[in-house]
């Protein structure tokens, strides 16, 4: 196998493309990076002799298949909903495919087709999902091999920014990943398992019912809100009889209460357009969400505070004010949903500056019994980015995907069908090489 096709050259593709091109020089591979933005694809290849950037409208079936036909392995960085079409092409054209995205139910339905053709589809090879799977399975298997019995598994991950680069930003947050996913985070109902009983947290309560956790090396606790898919991996992890399972997202203190305010107002809703949104101001938009008659002498800001149960100068209200939600600046986006309006505003306020350093924080907690004794093990990983281009997010999303792709290209992965990286064949070599890139877990037991 000599040819790799990378579909997508977006925000977090740099580390992956850089790694694959580095390996291409060693193994004499040819690497094609395809994107609808030819300049972005060409820039990511950066004149490498083993690489080429090309233009591709992925919706043009013949053009897409023509590129896939020439490859031995496809690495898809496309939006998740497009993976199904690429996967079907790979079956038709007898190609392996890997991606960092979640494996959907529709992809799992293709498992027999991939297996019957001796092909491989592996998804969830990024950070979360991805490194979380691999690092968790490593420790779970170690505990089971010792004869231990898991009674609780808690896994929390966050993509943050170093505090020194957040001065003047009361939210203490900036975008290091897909802004749309941040705005729509948590929509639906979060589920987890507590003392053997299912727990459900609807979206309207999610950011109100957060937890606090401590992580070594940090002076203050973090906030954690529950993920929707906490129980999705119960069987894949071999935790069918484990009574406590929780997966969460990490944020700095103060974030969840303020985001809960945006939810309560209605600004994260993506289900309907705001008519004439290009001509109204943010101030007028917020006033439209106030259904009670105007109280004499109270501003829109004061009335929003009443709606939220917040004092005029509370930390939450200061965060909303800092975003510019009470300004008389026009929104300028036609027929936009509230979520799209919010995303546009946040893109202006939460943009990474060139020298900003992002931060990845992941911590697993394993409670288990061994020889009649209760034990708790923590496994933590902290990684700092260098700047807005060389980010920890790009590294933790791209490198495990690239390393796994190398294993497929060199024949080290023998499994076929549709999988996520929970087998030793997958996680042991990937985690080992990640350590060489500074992505390493430290463990402590109490």
What are residue 100's phi and psi, to 5 degrees? -90, -10
Q: Is 65 left (phi over 0), alpha (psi -120 to 50) or beta?
A: alpha
**Residue labelled with tokens 């909903």:** 81
The distance between the two most distant Cα atoms of the chain, rounded to a whole number of Å, is 75
Instruction: Tell me the average pLDDT of the chain.
Output: 94
Tell me how far apart the alpha carbons of residues 179 and 8 are, in angstroms, rounded to a whole number.
17
Percent of the chain surpassing pLDDT 70: 99
Band the pLDDT of 296: cuts 50, 70, 90.
low
Q: What is the pLDDT of residues 304-362, one digit of tens each?
A: 999 999 998 999 999 999 999 999 999 999 999 999 999 999 999 999 999 999 999 99
Q: For residue 313, what are its two tokens?
A: 């100068």
Res. 3: pLDDT tops 90: yes
Domains, the chain, ordered by start = 3-123 (3.40.50.720), 131-259+353-384 (3.30.360.10), 273-336 (no CATH)
Angle, helices 255-265/300-308, rounded to nearest 10 degrees: 110
Tell me how far apart the alpha carbons of residues 303 and 17 are, in angstroms, rounded to a whole number.
50
Q: For residue 236, what are its two tokens?
A: 């894949």
Q: What is the pLDDT of residues 117-137, one digit of tens each?
A: 999 999 999 998 999 999 999
Instruction: For residues 386-413, give the mean pLDDT.
Output: 95
Tell me how far apart the alpha carbons of residues 358 and 62 are, in angstroms, rounded to a whole number.
39
Band the pLDDT of 80: cuts 50, 70, 90.
confident
Query: What is the reported pLDDT for 181?
Result: 86
Q: Which residues, at least 6 apart from 19, have a Cβ–Cβ distance to it below 8 Å?
A: 398, 399, 402, 403
Q: For residue 100, what are its two tokens?
A: 């960092």
Looking at the annotation, which residues are catalytic? 128
Q: Which residues, at least 6 apart from 406, have a Cβ–Cβ distance to it below 8 Å?
A: 20, 23, 27
- pTM metric for this prediction: 0.91
Beta strands 197-202 and 189-194, pairing class: antiparallel
Band the pLDDT of 50: cuts 50, 70, 90.
very high
Q: What is the pLDDT of residues 373-398, one digit of tens each?
A: 999 999 999 999 999 989 999 999 99
Q: For residue 166, what are its two tokens?
A: 């957040």
Query: What is the reported pLDDT for 63?
Result: 96
Instruction: For residues 177-193, give the mean pLDDT.
Output: 89
Tell me how far apart the alpha carbons of residues 185 and 268 are, in angstroms, rounded to a whole number.
9
* DSSP 8-state symbol, 78: S
């Amino acid at each position: 196998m000599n040819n790799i096709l990378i579909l997508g050259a977006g925000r977090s593709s740099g580390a992956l493309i850089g790694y694959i091109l580095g390996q291409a020089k060693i193994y004499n591979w040819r690497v094609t990076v395809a994107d609808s933005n030819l300049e972005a694809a060409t820039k990511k290849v950066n004149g490498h002799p083993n690489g080429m950037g090309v233009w591709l409208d992925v919706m043009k079936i013949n053009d897409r298949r023509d590129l896939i036909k020439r490859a031995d392995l496809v690495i898809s960085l496309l939006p998740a909903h497009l993976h199904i079409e690429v996967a079907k092409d790979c079956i038709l054209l007898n190609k392996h495919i890997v991606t960092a995205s979640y494996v959907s139910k529709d992809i799992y339905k293709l498992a027999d087709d991939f297996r019957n053709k001796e092909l491989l589809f592996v998804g969830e090879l990024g950070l979360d999902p991805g490194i979380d799977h691999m690092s968790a399975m490593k420790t779970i298997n170690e505990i089971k091999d010792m004869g231990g019995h898991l009674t609780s598994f808690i896994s929390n991950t966050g993509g943050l920014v170093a505090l020194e680069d957040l001065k003047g930003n009361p939210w203490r947050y900036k975008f290091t990943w897909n802004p749309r996913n941040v705005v729509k985070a948590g929509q639906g109902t979060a589920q987890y398992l507590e003392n053997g009983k299912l727990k459900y947290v609807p979206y309207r309560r999610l950011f109100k019912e957060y937890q606090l956790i401590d992580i070594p090396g940090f002076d203050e606790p973090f906030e954690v809100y529950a993920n929707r898919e906490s129980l999705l991996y119960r069987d894949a992890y071999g935790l069918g009889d484990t009574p406590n399972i929780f997966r969460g997202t990490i944020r700095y203190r103060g974030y969840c209460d303020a985001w809960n305010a945006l939810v309560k107002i209605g600004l994260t809703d993506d289900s309907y357009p705001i008519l004439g949104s290009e001509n109204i101001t943010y101030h007028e938009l917020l006033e439209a969400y106030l259904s009670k008659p105007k109280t004499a002498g109270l501003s829109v800001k004061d009335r929003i505070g009443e709606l939220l149960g917040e004092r005029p100068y509370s930390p939450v209200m200061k965060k909303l004010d800092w975003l510019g939600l009470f300004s008389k600046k026009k929104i300028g986006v036609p027929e936009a949903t509230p979520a799209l309006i919010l995303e546009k505003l946040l893109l202006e306020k939460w943009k990474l500056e060139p020298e900003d350093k992002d931060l990845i924080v992941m911590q697993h907690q394993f409670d288990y019994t061994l020889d009649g004794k209760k034990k708790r093990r923590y496994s933590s990983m902290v990684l700092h980015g260098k700047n807005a281009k060389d980010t920890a997010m790009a590294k933790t999303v791209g490198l495990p995907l690239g390393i796994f792709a190398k294993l497929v290209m060199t024949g080290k992965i023998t499994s076929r069908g549709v999988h996520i990286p929970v087998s030793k064949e997958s996680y042991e070599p990937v985690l080992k090489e990640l350590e060489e890139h500074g992505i390493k877990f430290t463990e402590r037991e109490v």
